[in-house]
Structure 1
Amino acid sequence: MPPPIVEKTGPTLFTIAQSGKMRVPVKIFSNDTLIPQLQTDDSLRQACNVAALPGIVGASFVMPDAHQGYGFCIGGVAAFDPVSGIISPGGIGFDINCG
């Protein structure tokens, strides 16, 4: 799977457009220095996977402190519809002091 295409859409906002199975886009709050670092692990791909989950609303968000997690990226934020969405304990985190 090729790496996600990241587009700068504001001074501190980057976007991965909705594609494939994604239901919403990914919005990344970052700067030009941090984006290349985010592209060295699976955190952006994990954010795209979250964007494909049932019932997600708005976007899959990535905060500036993001790094690779076990399913969701650490520093990822997502909201889900209370009726059609999911509940994912894994989205909270498994690491000590993460989540």
Structure 2
Amino acid sequence: MSELKKITDYLWEIPQTGQMLVPGRIYASEKLMNQIQKDESLKQVANVAHLPGIINYSLAMPDIHWGYGFPIGGVAATDARSGVISPGGVGYDINCGVRLLKTNLSADFIRPKIKDIVTTLFNAVPSGVGSHGAIRKLSRKDIRNVL
């Protein structure tokens, strides 16, 4: 990608061009950038910069590599009102654990419960190196209750 600009020793930028809504930024050393440029991940960083409502930058962390849609290691924040939600931006093709359930719950209903919800999720969902958890089979009734 010839338009790549070095900002610092560990920060690179894909300038906003065409219909990109924001620039792309990649956090990587020069050695890593030489490797990163061998696949299509920088094009994916630029593609993510087209998402409706994207804020500030399409970002890529040092582990960036070609993914499905977003690059693996890609990050994007979007505006709550005008942006999109991309639950499978990274990982649904290899089942990285990304999930989205649509409910009829309103933000006003959820907002006062967020702390309890986050605590419950943290305690119930295994995460991190060495964590363990059990996969529980849900009955049809359990699934209906979730939905």
Q: Give TM-score, length-normalised by structure 2.
A: 0.62
Q: Which residue of 1 aligns with 2:52?
A: 54
Q: Which residue of 2 aligns with 1:19?
A: 17
Q: Which residue of 1 aligns with 2:71?
A: 73
Q: Which residue of 2 aligns with 1:82?
A: 80
CA shift digits 1:42-83 (9 cap, x unpaired): 111001000011000010001000100010000001100010
SS of equivalent residue, structure 2 residue 67: coil
Higher helix share: 2
Higher relative contact order (CA 8 A, sep 6+): 1
Gaps of 5+ in 2: 99-147
Q: Percent identity?
A: 48
Higher strand share: 1
* Moved segments of 4+, more than 6 Å: none
Give the drift of 1:31.
0.5
Q: Which has the larger radius of gyration?
A: 2
Cα pair 2:21 2:54 within 8 Å, conserved? yes
CA shift digits 1:4-50 (9 cap, x unpaired): 52111012101110001100001110001011211111111001000
Cα pair 1:27 1:62 within 8 Å, conserved? yes
Distance, in Å, in 2 between the alignment partners of 1:85 and 1:96 is 24
Find the partner of 2:29 among 21, 31, 43: 31
Q: Give TM-score, length-normalised by structure 1.
A: 0.90
Give the drift of 1:97.
4.7
